[in-house]
Structure 1
Amino acid sequence: MLEILGSVTGSPWLYGVIATSVLLDVFVPVLPSGVLVVAAATAFAGTTAADAADLPSHARHAAESAPLPEIVALVLCAATASVAGDLVAYRMARRGGPRFDRALSRSRRLKLAQEKLGQALAGGGGALVVLARFAPAGRSVVSLTAGAAHRRAKEFLPWSALAGVMWAAYSVSLGYFGGRWLGATWLGTAVSVLALFTFGTLAAYALRRKADDPARRRRTARSAT
């Protein structure tokens, strides 16, 4: 895959594939959008290293800094697609009405997550939106829950934009610096992806703790009365 990505670095097709994967990831969380972003950034790093290898030392630094526009474009592409996907899911849930609620109730896991996160979102849980972007399927649950709870767009979208930019910048940085330090190989990509998944696991744990806090306080209050 790295060879394929390396051969199309800078091509509009690459950004199109990444944008499509990130946008659809909110509906199909199993899509490897994060892996694709990391791998693309690693391929950028490999292309830079290969281009600079045969240059004199005085020109090597300039060549190594050359892909900055491509890196920025990759971050903007992933972040924009992330916000667009959040907005589509939010609008669908907001306008879904009873039919959406019935479809949601068929998934016990999603229904349970909606109940836990509803209280946090009702309290203006902006940080929750950012944290959920890094957790597996957390983005889907929060976007759908915000829509189903009829949260106003101006309360949700700024946090979604911040979450998208932070996630995109983090993923691209992992891939690029992993490729620079470990080489644009499967090892460099694997280490970067492992770091992405590790942070996602920690985010999911923190998200569960944050969502459980309101329920725990209610149980404590009831037992004290």
Structure 2
Amino acid sequence: MLDHLTPLISSPWLYLVVLVAVAVDGFLPIVPSETLVIGLGALSATGRPDLAALAVAAAAGGMAGDRVSYLLGRKAGRRAARGKLAPARAKAEHALLKYGGAAILLGRFLPYGRTATTITSGSVSLPRDRFRLFSALASAAWAAYAIGLGRLGGATFAHSPLLGAAFGIAIGMTLASIFTLVDKRRRPIRPIATRPAPLETPVRELVAAGHR
């Protein structure tokens, strides 16, 4: 992907590409936005792309994608109780009930956690103001994390920005694997599809009442 973006390194269009990629990754988690931002963070050690503009684009894309995911959750969130996202969604609902909006911040760094927590926030009617606040915090933290990994790689391999990008991406993949292993070792939570349907209303009321 970085090879395709190399001609855009000095172009302002690059930041639009980053914003869109990070946004789409919020509700369609097949776009490698983390790899993209880490790689560009490593390349920024050469002076291009601009570090501040990259951070703004990544954070803005994070918030935009979260909003779309939240709205999808409001309209059809219960459908996520089936399929590959079912276990992640069940854990996200449990975390939202236990930790409130802070679960959005924590979920940003877990596999499928971003999509699961934002969709679930919509489906259980987490207050929008609280959702926007924690989405902004999570997006800023994630942007700093991804760019920081890239800069670490760029500093380690200053003679080769592409090698630095690969190193930063490798660190990110390693941390993601560790998060996955830790998550699997945790006590499993019953998929939400197995719960009685009447619980849906109390869940929404509990989340809304606890965060007004």
Shorter-chain TM range is 0.7 to 0.9
Contact 1:26 1:137 (8 Å CA) reproduced: no
1:124 to 99, 120, 128: 99
The residue identity in structure 1 corresponding to 2:9 is T
Larger C-alpha radius of gyration, 1 or 2?
A: 1
| Partner AA of 2:175 in structure 1 | F
Q: 1:173 to 1:115 in 2, by over 3 A?
A: closer
- % identity of equivalent residues: 34
Instruction: Rate the CA distance shift 1:126–1:116 in 2: closer, same or farther, 3 A.
Output: same
Q: Which moved more, 1:192-201 or 1:125-134?
A: 125-134
Tell me which residue corresponds to 1:34: 34
Describe the shift of the 1:188–1:126 C-alpha distance in structure 2 as closer, same or farther (beyond 3 A): same
Q: Distance in 2 between matches of 1:155 and 1:204?
A: 27
Is the contact between residue 80 and residue 89 of structure 2 (CA under 8 Å) also seen in structure 1?
no
Asked if structure 1 preserves the Cα contact closer than 8 Å seen for 2:92 and 2:113, the reply is no
* CA drift at 1:127: 3.3
Find out whether 1:151 has 2:131 as its counterpart: no
Q: CA deviation at 1:110?
A: 1.8
Q: Separation in 1 of the partners of 2:181 and 2:97?
A: 20
1:70 deviation in Å?
A: 1.6
1:20–1:79 Cα change, 3 Å: same
Could you state the TM-score of these two structures normalised by the residue count of structure 1? 0.73
Q: Which runs of 5+ in 2 are unaligned?
A: 191-212
Q: TM-score with structure 2 length normalisation?
A: 0.77
In the alignment, structure 1 residue 178 sits paired with structure 2 residue 153: yes
- Give the structure 2 partner of residue 87 of structure 1: 67
Aligned residue type for 2:28 = V
Give yes or no for the alignment of 1:11 onto 2:6.
no
2:176 is the alignment partner of 1:200:
yes
Paired residues, number: 189
Structure 1 residues 146 and 112, CA, compared in 2 at 3 Å: closer, same or farther? same
Q: Would you tell me which structure has more helix in proportion to its own residues?
A: 1
Which residue of the partner structure matches residue 140 of structure 2?
Answer: 165
Q: What is the CA RMSD across the aligned residues, in angstroms?
A: 2.5
Residues 41 and 165, structure 2, Cα contact 8 Å, conserved in 1: no
Q: Which moved more, 1:172-181 or 1:13-22?
A: 172-181
After superposition, what is the alpha-carbon deviation per residue over 1:68-121, rounded to whole angstroms, capped at 9, x for unaligned?
A: x9201101110111011011111121133xxx52x32441x3223222321220
The Cα shift of 1:205 comes to 4.6
What runs of 5+ residues in structure 1 fail to find an aligned partner?
49-66, 216-225
Distance 1:73 1:156 in 2: 24
Contact 2:66 2:118 in 1 (8 A): yes
**1:58 is matched with which residue?**
none
Structure 1 window deviating more from structure 2 (156-165 vs 2-11): it is: 2-11
Match of 2:54 among 60, 74, 97: 74
